[in-house]
Amino acid sequence: MNRTVALSITLVHGTWGRGFFPPRQSAAPRKSQGKSRWFEPGSNFRRSLEAALGSDAPEQAASIDCFEWSGANSFIERATAADALAERLDAQAAANPGLTQILIGHSHGGSVCMLACVRMNTARPHIVTLATPFIELDASDAGTKTVADLCADQIRCLSLMVFFFLIGQPGIAALTSWIPLAWLHPWWVSYLLALPLAYLGLDAWNHWSKTRLDPNWAVGAMMQRHASTRMLVLRGVDDEATLALTAAAIATRLSQPFPFLAMLALYTALFALVLIYAGGVNLTHVDADLVRLTVLRWLPAVWLLEVVTGLLMATSGRELALWFHGLQIRSHSSPDHGHHLSVFTLPYRGRRGLLRHGLYDHSLAPSLILAWMRNDFELSPTDLDVKVSSDGRIEVALLEKAPNA
């Protein structure tokens, strides 16, 4: 008997879902013989969905596939993956009118799903997110510049030039040593030639950050614009990724006094130089202590604060490591959804994997997804019959609705 495909489920993995160094070809098989990843055929998650869907409607086939992307912790990579996913689902919807599409994304795979839904033309899939961090990137303060902000920009430019200088100088030194020109061999030549290279790197970085990084690529406060889109948000307790992303929120707080500290550091350094050189004051012990305090301690401390802040904010996306001024990161427990949104927090009990972030290994995740699908893509605690077995396992089932009187 031929079965018609009426339901298409696409699984989208999250950051580093295929490992830290995934193969270039998304369809490349795994070299290891270990258990399948949650989105791959043969995994516990996929087997649970396939078995339940097959028993629900034997005459209709449900297609379960996966969408693989680089998995990099990058706003740009997630946006690129969202474009590819949107194109794929648009083509699928055009070729199969009436097909119900569901996206199930884990971690930042859920971010990719939400971005894709905004960029689709014809497809209107429903979304399930598993332990997805809903990050809001607020750039409302990026356009206003105070004196303190300008000082912070100078500190940032200095740190970036030092970064590119340290990268370029060893390469230039190695290159000049091979060139048979005596005037290129002194030690100071490589340092001198590295300065314009550092400036070019700084200029290229500034141009890239202003033209490539789009605050709209964060999905924390994103509201689905299609009324037909329904969402199921499954989140965990003390999720490791959520706790790690708290560092970005802490960095946001750290970045707030940074412009003032940068302004104070630059003004102090300028005052010290004017006092010692322009003022004609002899370099006494007091002046030496002032220079030592300003140049050797205060300025490096402010620069170190910027580096630490950038690294913490990079937990949300690697692009923020060296570019975060004027940006505020906010984390949401669930997205702003103006229509049909179901949110469930899964208890610690019932997980199978080592990490709590892996909600696809939670025993309740497939059950809640199936109950949500059977209940016309809406679900609330009152729709469920929750039982705890003798061995402590939690089981949920969809309550049968009483017939209308």
pLDDT in tens, 230-287: 899 998 877 777 777 777 777 767 666 766 666 666 666 666 666 666 655 555 555 5
Q: Tokens for 329, please give them.
A: 């990161």
∠ CA 161-163-169, nearest 5°, is: 90
Q: Between β-strands 340-345 and 230-235, what pairing exists: parallel, antiparallel or unpaired? A: parallel
pLDDT of residue 39: 92
Regarding pTM above 0.75, the answer is: yes
Task: State how far Cα 287 lies from the chain centre.
Answer: 47
Percent of the chain surpassing pLDDT 90: 17
C-alpha atoms less than 13 angstroms from C-alpha of 185 in its C-beta half-sphere: 6
Alpha-carbon Rg of the chain, whole angstroms? 27
- What local confidence, expressed as pLDDT, does residue 12 receive? 97
Q: Do residues 127 and 234 make contact, with C-beta atoms less than 8 angstroms apart?
A: no
Which tokens sit at 135? 């990050």
- Residue 33 pLDDT more than 50? no
Show the domains of the chain with their CATH numbers: 4-132+339-398 (3.40.50), 147-214+248-329 (no CATH)
Q: What are phi and psi of 7, to 5 degrees?
A: -140, 130
Per the CB < 8 A criterion, the answer to whether 107 and 133 are in contact is yes
Given this model, what pLDDT does residue 197 score? 77
- State residue 1's pLDDT score: 41
Residue 122 has pLDDT above 70, yes or no: yes
Q: Which residue has the tokens 């295929």?
A: 18
Structure tokens at 341: 């949104």
Q: What is the pLDDT of residues 83-111, one digit of tens each?
A: 999 999 999 999 988 899 999 999 999 99
List beta partners, residue 62.
7
Segment 190-234, tens digit of pLDDT:
778 887 877 777 777 666 666 666 766 666 656 566 677 889 999
Q: What CA–CA distance (Å, rounded) separates 263 from 393?
A: 58
H runs (alpha helix) in 179-279: 187-212, 240-255, 258-273
pLDDT, tens digit, 9 for 90 and up, residues 290-317: 556 655 666 667 667 777 777 777 888 8
Residue 6 pLDDT > 70: yes
The pLDDT tens digits for 36-66 are 899 999 898 998 888 888 765 554 578 899 9
